[in-house]
Chain A
Amino acid sequence: MTSAEGESARRLRIPLDEHTVMSLRAGDRVLLSGVLYAARDAAHRKMVEALRGGGRLPLDLHGQVIYYVGPTPAPPGRAVGAAGPTTSGRMDPYTPPLLQQGLRGMVGKGPRGPQVQEAMCRAHAVYFVVTGGAGALLARHIVEATVVAYPELGTEALRRLVVDDMPALVAVDAHGGNLFASGPQAFAAGSGSGVVA
């Protein structure tokens, strides 16, 4: 994924519009440029608690994409340290309310639950994956990082990241396509494997 900078990868600018999201299909290779908001467990909990309490989010989520990441501290001269994806499934309980606020995409690793997939179809949103454990490699594509909310959370603070050509793969699209179902099916024993995805 991260190394797939070939001609087949499509360049996307973030924020994303609905038309662009609807044109994406599971399995598409993309290069992400623009703004990603870094948020993981604690920031999600705070955002959803704010919504439940009738409050407002610290940012306008319309058209935005959240990257599930908590980077290591930045060495001098760098925006971030290692900055790969964390497990997306932990953010599943918080995701439908954020999709209702206009969230257009997410970047992480690992499968999403059925309720999130259904909510994504309704909200016309997309889920990208980047290679888990490739934190040093992915950090090369992050050129700026600014804490925009919850600074007390340290690595879990809400950050605005500026990314440049970050290679990703569409894993779950807005039409029900899901690479975590179709990919393993092609290779599971008894599936007549021999299909090269």
Chain B
Amino acid sequence: MREISAERISSVVASLFGKACCSLAPDVEAALRAARDKERSETGRQVLDDLIANAEVAAAESLPLCQDTGLAVVFADVGQEVCLVGGSWEEAIQSGVRTAYTQRLLRMSCVSDPAGARVNTKDNTPAVIHYRLVPGDRVRLVALAKGAGAENKSVLAMLEPSRGRSGVVATVVEAVSAGGASACPPLIVGVGIGGNFELAPLLAKRALLRPLGSHHHEPRLGELEDELEQACNRLGIGPMGLGGEVTVLDVFVEEAPCHIASLPVAVNIQCHSQRHREVWV
């Protein structure tokens, strides 16, 4: 067994959220620059120029890129040969989130009693944590600061199997068409196909973590990703919804087997800045 201290996990999580909120990941910045070159709408190009300049200002002034520093989402792939010492996984991760948001001047955007008094929890916890047990003696941690403007436009559709592939395409395009303009486009779209009522959205969220520009290793799904990207970009929504050719930066699909009577499709919408960082411990 390899021992890792809870304190180390906390400090890694805090550092990941600090970086994710205050600087663009290199693949995201490259995608925004490529979009700037491709976009024919003058307004759209100015929006993209703003986003590139914003990243420079945020870095220079140590400010968050966006005031919505998100609900904190953590993916923890924990090696079976890892033994955590000095605390629990749950508290180690929540404590890292608490440290990042309170000490790095990020925004507290989490409220309890959501359908009632909506009282701010004042430290942006609890984070949403997705654990997975994996072989090996290492831990992969991914921090995703997920803003609500895009999250609110996400969709889960429990399709009947007769809808097939074209039903999947229609569901994705409809979600982007209906909510895309409010979700800070150009978007990154994560699509989860199959599984069940809770697995499809998780597949969609994990899909968002793929490097921009990558394709699914399975050609059948890589082709579907291309088709979805082209269909979304034909909508004309453009940067910030003001019209243009670049409505999505990328579309990623993940799938899982499902029940003979089901065809779940989840569409997780992500804003242009995709604030996330990952590290292996």
* A interface residue numbers (CB < 8 A to B): 1-4, 42, 69-75, 81-84, 86-90, 109-111, 129, 131-137, 139-140, 153-155, 169, 171, 179-180, 182-189, 191, 193, 196-197
Given contacts A183-B41, A184-B236, contact A132 B109 (CB under 8 A): no
Q: Summarize A's interface: helix, strand, loop or mixed.
A: loop
CB–CB B67/A82 < 8 A:
yes
Contact yes or no, B243 A185, CB < 8 A: yes
Q: Is the CB of B40 within 8 A of A133?
A: no
- Given contacts A3-B46, A187-B244, A154 and B64 within 8 Å (CB-CB): no
> For A136, what are the chain B residues with a Cβ–Cβ distance below 8 Å?
54, 57-58, 61, 63-65
Residues of B within 8 A of A (CB-CB), count: 51
Q: Name the one of B44, B62, B108, B184 contacting A154, with C-beta atoms under 8 angstroms.
A: B108
Residue B167 at the chain A interface, CB threshold 8 Å: no
Contact residues in A for B92 (Cβ distance below 8 Å): none
Kindly identify which residue among A4, A87, A88, A184 contacts B46, using a CB–CB cutoff of 8 Å. A4
Minimal Cβ-Cβ distance residue in A for B153: A87
> Is B63 a contact partner of A183 (Cβ separation < 8 A)?
no
- The answer to whether A110 and B241 touch (CB under 8 A), given A1-B43, A186-B236, is yes
In the bound complex, what is the Cα–Cα distance between A189 and B237 (angstroms)? 11
The minimal Cβ–Cβ distance linking B270 to chain A, given in whole angstroms, is: 11
* Contact pick for A188, options B57, B61, B234, CB 8 Å: B234
Q: Which 4 residue pairs of A and B lie closest in terms of their CB atoms, listed nearest first?
A: A183-B243, A188-B236, A110-B182, A187-B236
Cα distance A153–B184 in the bound complex, in angstroms: 25
Q: Other CB < 8 Å A-B pairs besides A184-B237, A188-B236, A189-B236, 8 of them?
A: A72-B67, A82-B67, A182-B243, A183-B236, A183-B238, A186-B236, A196-B40, A197-B41
Cross-interface CB contact of A87 among B50, B182, B273, cutoff 8 Å: B182
